[in-house]
Amino acid sequence: MPTPSSPPVIALVIPVFNEEAVLPELIARLTALFDAQPGCTWRAVLVDDGSRDRSVALVRAQAAKDARFELVELTRNFGFQAALAAGLAHVVDAAAVVTMDADLQDPPELIPQLVAAWQGGAEIVRAVRRSRAERGLRRAGFDLFHAVFGQLIDYPIEANTGTFGLIGSHALGAFRQLPERHRFFPGLRAWIGFPTADVLYDRQERAAGQPQQSFGRLARYALDGLFSFSYLPLRVLTYAGLFISGLGFALALFFIVRRLLGIEIAQTGFTTLITIVTFLGGVQLIGIGVLGEYLGRIYDEVKQRPIYLAKPPRSARD
């Protein structure tokens, strides 16, 4: 740990996956930030998540000429959350850690404000999006997620927040104790507690290249957040079962009363029977699917496989 007279170590953890197009500008803007903020000791840990382009070569070249930049290589593509966990495990000596994406939608120039809020007493500083530059279907999906997600989860999580933010060393120590494999970073960050501050900003367009997170990955990430922080899907199934059972009991009672009163009952048709069977079958399949989502996550936790595997440093391999 730094002495009271030494500048605090502020580490940046940035997962990287096929970001060759944006890395030169990212490195240039981080270098300018570090040079302009001499009151801190800066480290930028870029975690390569199995990139297939020149991302590793670019980061390695920068690390060779500037010791403030470090490269952590994973053995394959484990996913963004795994790469983020690898970076957080790597920075054991930092007084605070800034987590961010590599695509520069989250501006590095905001980091001094995050550090200032941390120095003011907040152990967790969230960067809250005041606006975002995405358009079209991707933007609609993000807006829908943030509008609905807060209503479904059992634990309050600040809307319009993501990876970008700062975690102090005490909160980071608590965060490292969370072992789950299906990780939803904003939810885990909120769950650990600690004094929290918010910094508003406007999210920008990608600096270059195309988004590396497909709609499928984003959908799985949203489901990880829902199933990790909410029992609502199970409760909905319970309520649906109670409602359908009550409806069936009421319908049966209705026909019994009519028979006792001697009222003729018209023969029900084939369509009615098929509709009821199909509806009940659909509800049962949905229920099995929801249970499968929870069961699959339990299975992953029981296996106790590591979240990621990292290559040894290049010097150790030579």
CA distance 12 to 44: 5
How many CA atoms lie less than 13 Å away from 71 in the CB half-sphere? 26
pLDDT of residue 225: 64
pLDDT of residue 269: 57
Q: What does pTM read for this prediction? A: 0.72
DSSP class of 109: G
Contact 49, 17 (CB under 8 A): yes
pLDDT of residue 307: 80
pLDDT of residue 46: 93
pLDDT of residue 39: 78
* 3-state DSSP assignment of residue 22: coil
CA distance 56 to 239: 51
pLDDT of residue 195: 87
Per-residue pLDDT tens digits for 136-152: 565 666 666 666 666 66
CA distance 56 to 60: 6
Residues of the chain predicted below pLDDT 50: 1
